[in-house]
Structure 1
Amino acid sequence: METLRCMRAFVAVADHGSFSRAAVHLQVSAVMVGKYIQQLEAHLGTALLQRNTRRQRLTEAGVAYLAGCRQVLEQVQQAEASVAGLQLQPRGLLRVSAPTTWGSCVLAPALASLLQAQPLVNIELDLSNRTVDLIEDGFDAAIRVGALPSGALVARALPPYAMSLCASPAYLRRRGTPQVPSDLAAHDCLSHLAWRGGHGWQLANGEPVDWEGQARLSSNDGQALRLAALAGAGLVLQPTSLLGEDIAAGRLVTLLADHLPVPRPMNLIYLPDRRPRPRLQCFVEFMLERFPVPPVPEPAP
């Protein structure tokens, strides 16, 4: 039994005084209104209306049930109105997962403008290099670097995730500038602990490049390696998103540009939805506008 339909029919009959007028109001047939009332009475095990050929009126049970029906239908209407409001204006909490370095250096500062534009939206930004499950971990969206795990997700391309190899001008004056990857063996290299136990880099040719012994400094934090490189401790290979401002300001000098790792694809992913929530939709639109994918250069003639 469709309880809400039956309730609406019962309230319409009580308000309009007959099955026929209730049918006009509900835009169904009078026979269908009668079936709704019969289903309701069978479900409750009592008569709600006393009927004769001229009119019907509420029984004692009908009077009591009518008040409850009105209350239930009003609550349903309020709930539907609140959902309709959510469908129109972005509001509520948006949970986003992003890679640690890119998320802290690039995404977090950019979100300030989105928060100003959407005062009813709050953002929880989880920075981690682990692969999250949007459903199980409760995220609305994630920024993913590398291959995508599932075709069931919507993926929108972002600018590729590039790396830079750098050193400070003071270090290069002291130790010289490497010209080819094999020169790295004679330099102090700063390595992330996530890479091959603290030594070795993967450059563009796909072959790992080792230097003699362990890295002079290893850390599990890219920001620590950046600061060490700025202080002249050695060469650092880290995401361009982390080193870009220092490169532009001349505090770090790029090295071996022709041998850098190939930039990896980066995507904004989220679950498909025929009617996406406004807070997610505004975030997707913001990301695509703020971080457009650069056009692919046409091959030379």
Structure 2
Amino acid sequence: MDRLRSMEVFVSAVERGSFSAAARELDLSPVMVGKHVRQLETHLGAQLLQRNTRAQSLTDAGRRFYDESRKVLEQLALAEASVESLRAEPRGRLRITAATTLGACVIAPLAAEYQNGHPQVRIDLDLSNSVVDLVDEGFDVAVRIGDLDADLNLVARPIGLYRMAICASPDYLARHGTPRTLDELAAHRCLGHSVWDRRNGWRLTGESRWPEDTTFLCNDGLALRQAALHGAGLLLQPSILVADDLSAGRLVSVLEDATPAGRPVHALYRQDRQPLPKIRSFVGFLEERGREWLG
């Protein structure tokens, strides 16, 4: 029995919550995942997982074995990293997490461009507006928007500013007129994002905010863009999302002096380990090329 492999499979099954999810992550069949776990249980003489058709849970022995297995696997990864760091060529899986719109519009094309120059690197890009823990969730690089909380375990590299644009379709402006001041927003049809509120909404000039009483509400920026393109109203969204539409004249920028101040964008990675070539080179690439997208 390859005990280390079985430990890796067991840890994945625990962290992913099921044999099928672990199988997808490790490119195994659920049957093989179960075989690894049963081999461990036979070897240890103790049940590690309690399973039924709906859920699984750790036994006391399983919880202790999981904690120790994670430590062993982390030490193994560090040992491998100490050798890999000697290689000049970046290689291996690079796990990146980024906010949804930023990730789709900027990080995905940049990651593809980076990979073209480093074909031995496999990109795993996860897009989510939730702030993830790099250590607990196993990410190599996080790209985050906004001011950073002090975290002594992370290195932050600035890659640009996340800017916003206020815009509308030519058809909408022809029907409703072009707003010249923020006071005129009250008379316009405004599109809103459902996660915005008084606490996290975008502040315009001074103390003004994007109207809370919007006529079209959605939880997805791409959908709001489509609504604006079809004349639904004034849109406030990241410049990177509407840049092509503005260049092509499908959308028209308005109230440019009132747009929110840009928020800083940083690439972060752990500093408690020697950066592997794939991490060091990718973050350097973002620093160099990111400003062309987020200048």
Same structural fold, with TM-score higher than 0.5 when normalized by the shorter chain? yes
Q: Secondary structure at the match of 2:207?
A: coil
8 Å CA contact 2:190–2:211 kept in 1: the answer is: no
Q: Quickly say closer, same or farther: Cα 1:82–1:275, change in 2 above 3 A.
A: closer
From the superposition, tell whether residues 279 and 209 of structure 1 become closer, same or farther in structure 2 (CA, over 3 Å).
Answer: closer
How do 1:57-96 residues align onto structure 2 when only pairs under 5 Å count? 84-85=83-84, 87-88=86-87, 89-96=89-96
Structure 1 position 133 matched with structure 2 position 133: yes
Q: 2:85 touches 2:275 (CA, 8 Å); kept in 1? A: no
- State the partner residue of 1:119: 119
Mapped partners of 2:81, 2:255: distance in 1: 57
Deviations 1:46-89 (A, max 9, x none): xxxxxxxxxxxxxxxxxxxxxxxxxxxxxxxxxx8996355312
Query: Aligned in 2, Cα 1:85/1:172: closer, same or farther, shift over 3 Å?
Result: same
Q: Does 1:178 align with 2:173?
A: no
Q: Give the Cα separation in 2 of the matches to 1:87 and 1:281.
A: 13
Instruction: Measure the CA separation in 2 of the matches of 1:248 and 1:111.
Output: 24
1:208 aligns to 2:209 (yes or no): yes
* Partners of 1:164 and 1:202 in 2: CA distance: 12
Distance 2:274 2:101 in 1: 32
Instruction: Find the residue that maps to 1:196 and give its secondary structure.
Output: coil
Tell me by how many angstroms 1:151 deviates: 3.7
Contact 1:158 1:293 in 2 (8 A): no
1:220 counterpart residue number: 219
**Counterpart position of 1:196:** 197
Given that residues 182 and 209 in structure 1 are in contact (C-alpha distance below 8 angstroms), is that contact kept between their aligned partners in structure 2? Answer: no
Q: What code does the residue aligned with 2:284 have?
A: E
Residues 38-57 of structure 1 mapped to structure 2, 5 A cutoff: none
Per the alignment, residue 110 of structure 2 pairs with: 110
Shift of 1:276: 1.4
Matches within 5 A, 1:141-156: 141-152=141-152, 153-156=154-157
1:222–1:209: structure 2 CA closer, same or farther, 3 Å change rule? closer
Q: Which residue does 1:235 correspond to in 2? A: 234
- CA change 1:277–1:229 in 2 (3 A) is same
Identity across the alignment (%): 46
**Corresponding position of 1:7:** none
How far apart, in 2, do the equivalents of 1:234 and 1:82 lie? 52
- How far residue 201 of structure 1 moved from its aligned partner, in angstroms, is 5.4
Q: Deviations over 1:208-244 (max 9, x none)?
A: 2436xx4221100000000110111111000111011
Gaps of 5+ in 1: 1-79, 297-301
Could you say if the C-alpha distance between residues 155 and 247 of structure 1 is closer, same or farther in structure 2, counting changes exceeding 3 Å?
Answer: same
- 2:168 is matched with 167
Structure 1 residues 145 and 181: CA distance shift in structure 2, 3 A: same
Counterpart secondary structure, 1:112: helix
1:136 match: secondary structure: helix
Alignment correspondent of 2:188:
187
Q: Distance in 2 between matches of 1:287 and 1:194?
A: 28
Which letter maps to 1:114? Y
Corresponding residue number in structure 2 for 1:4: none
TM-score by length of 1: 0.66
* CA displacement at 1:207 relative to structure 2: 2.8
Check the 8 A contact 1:190/1:215 in 2, yes or no. yes
Moved more, 142-151 or 255-264: 142-151
Q: 1:85 to 1:154 in 2, by over 3 A?
A: closer
> What is the TM-score with the length of structure 2 in the denominator?
0.67
1:246 aligns with 2:245: yes
More divergent stretch after superposition (202-211 vs 85-94): 202-211
CA distance in 1, matches of 2:125, 2:158: 19
Q: Is the 8 A contact 2:204 2:260 kept in 1?
A: yes
Aligned length, in residue pairs = 213
One-letter identity of the residue aligned with 1:145 = I
Unaligned ranges ≥5, structure 2: 1-78
In structure 1, what is the Cα distance between the partners aligned to 2:249 and 2:86? 48
Kindly name which structure, 1 or 2, has the bigger radius of gyration based on alpha carbons.
1
The letter of the residue matching 1:171 is: Y
Shift of 1:140: 0.6
Number of the residue aligned with 2:289: 290
